[in-house]
């Protein structure tokens, strides 16, 4: 069984933005046309995201809101409690998607059972996971009554996790990429610069379009209005199939965040 409504292919990640900055970024993003907001208990800005959602005139039903279970809140009862706290901070009756943030060894199974319970209550329209590479996905399959709707992983041309992409496609799990533009760290790759020249697009736009062409939902973070617009406009063109294929060969195992294998 699967849960949830359709997920936008491009949204706003709100890691590392706080107070007014977070509120304003969400309002600016919504005004530009973003309809997916990705936060987490760990980001300590659920209150500000909630404030922005209270202020916007865009109907709640048009916005796809994700939050995540913190690493310190694993276990059945703790996860149920943590979800209630997130909803309260977000000032919401429901979220569109609730994710396990990291596959913490102690408690991830019990936490998934709690997420299934939360889904049944209707207060999360969909449930899913983050940082679940193949061993974690296969383990989850062995005890889950519900399959995850989405798996959010670090996924870029320089960390092209083809086996996770294939597994998710085969099992009808939406893949979503985090740190999609490598926080700018690969913008000087000459192969990327050549594509920027060919399409007259920015490095961020080329990388984000690569995600979209692969059917991978992506959540770049920016708190700057011009960059929010730039990133959103990545949806307005199409890379040729051969250039998508070319970018698939950039893989070099480059990571921004921890390798989830530390939790095996
Ligand atoms: N599940 C997980 O474990 C996990 C882990 C990491 C991230 N995430 C999620 O993924 C989201 C995105 O990942 P991320 O924040 O790590 O990295 P990212 O989106 O790859 O990069 C964000 C950084 O790039 C800058 N930036 C944004 N647009 C730009 C552009 N067009 N040109 C140049 N620089 C630009 C931003 O600065 P400014 O804000 O100053 O523009 C920020 O410093 C997070 O916000 C979070 O929601 C999830």
How much is the mean pLDDT over the chain?
97
Band (32; pLDDT cuts 50, 70, 90): very high
Q: Is the pLDDT of residue 120 over 90?
A: yes
Q: Is residue 192 part of a domain?
A: yes
Please count the other Cβ atoms lying within 10 Å of the Cβ belonging to residue 18. 13
Ligand 1: atom nearest CA of 153 is 1
Residues 146-168 pLDDT 10s: 999 999 999 999 999 999 999 99
pLDDT tens string 33-53:
999 999 999 999 999 999 999
Structure tokens at 130: 């983050």
Whether 4 maps to a domain, the answer reads: no
The predicted structure's pLDDT at residue 6: 86
Quote the CA–CA distance of 32 and 105 in Å, as a whole number: 40
Q: Is the CB of 225 under 6 A from ligand 1?
A: no
How many C-beta neighbours within 10 Å does residue 198 have? 12
Residue 183, in any domain of the structure: yes
Residue 118 φ/ψ, nearest 5 degrees: -65, -40
> 21, 34, 206, 221: which to mutate for ligand 1, most atoms within 8 A of CB?
221
CA–CA distance, 192 with 171 (Å, rounded to integer): 31
CB 227 near ligand 1, within 6 Å: yes
**Best probe residue, ligand 1, of 15, 129, 254 (max atoms within 8 Å of C-beta):** 15
- The verdict on residue 263 lying in a domain is no
Q: Summarize pLDDT for 221-238 with one digit per residue, the tens.
A: 999 999 999 999 999 999
Dist CA 116 CA 85 (whole Å): 17
103 lies in which domain range? 12-257
Assess whether the C-beta atom of 34 lies below 6 angstroms from ligand 1.
no
Is residue 6 in some structural domain?
no
Confidence of residue 239 (pLDDT cuts 50, 70, 90): very high
Cα(246)–Cα(236) distance, rounded to whole angstroms?
A: 20
Query: Is residue 98 in some structural domain?
Result: yes
Q: Per-residue pLDDT averaged across 252-262, rounded?
A: 98
What span, in angstroms and rounded, lies between the C-alpha atoms of 5 and 28? Answer: 24
CATH code for the domain in which residue 155 is found: 3.20.20.100
Q: Return the SS3 of 52.
A: helix
pTM, full prediction: 0.98
Residues 16, 25 contacting (CB under 8 angstroms): no
CA 33 to chain centre: 17
Residue 40 lies in a domain: yes
CB burial class (10 A; 0-12, 13-18, 19+) of residue 103? buried
| C-alpha to C-alpha distance for 264 and 259, rounded to whole angstroms | 10
Number of structural domains found in the chain: 1
Residue 151 within any structural domain of the chain = yes
How open is the CA angle 210-148-81, to the nearest 5 degrees? 120
Label residue 1 by pLDDT band (50, 70, 90).
Answer: very low
Query: Of all protein residues, whose CA lies closest to atom 16 belonging to ligand 1?
Result: 179
The pLDDT of residue 64 is 98
Shortest-distance Cα residue to atom 13 of ligand 1: 179
């Amino acid at each position: 069984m699967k849960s949830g409504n359709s997920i936008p292919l491009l949204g706003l990640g709100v890691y590392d933005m706080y107070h007014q900055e977070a509120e304003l970024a969400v309002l600016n993003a919504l005004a530009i046309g973003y309809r997916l907001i990705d936060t987490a208990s760990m980001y300590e800005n659920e209150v500000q995201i909630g404030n922005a959602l209270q202020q916007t005139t865009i109907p709640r039903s048009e916005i796809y809101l994700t939050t995540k279970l913190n690493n310190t809140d694993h276990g059945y009862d703790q996860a149920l409690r943590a979800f209630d706290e997130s909803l309260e901070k977000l000032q919401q009756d429901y979220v569109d998607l609730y994710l396990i943030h990291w596959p913490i060894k102690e408690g991830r199974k019990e936490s998934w059972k709690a997420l299934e319970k939360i889904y049944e209550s209707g207060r999360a329209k969909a449930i899913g996971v983050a940082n679940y590479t193949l061993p974690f996905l296969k383990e989850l399959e062995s005890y889950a009554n519900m399959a995850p709707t989405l798996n959010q992983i670090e996924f870029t041309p320089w960390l092209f996790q083809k086996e996770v992409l294939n597994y998710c496609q085969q099992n009808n799990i939406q893949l979503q990429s985090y740190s999609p533009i490598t926080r700018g760290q690969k913008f000087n790759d000459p192969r990327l610069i050549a594509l920027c020249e060919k399409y007259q697009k920015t490095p961020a736009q080329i990388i984000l379009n690569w995600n979209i062409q692969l059917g991978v939902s992506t959540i770049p973070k920016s708190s700057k209005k011009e960059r929010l617009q730039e990133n959103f406009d990545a949806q307005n063109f199409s890379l040729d199939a051969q250039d998508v294929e070319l970018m698939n060969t950039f893989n070099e195992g480059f990571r921004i965040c921890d390798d989830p294998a530390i939790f095996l």
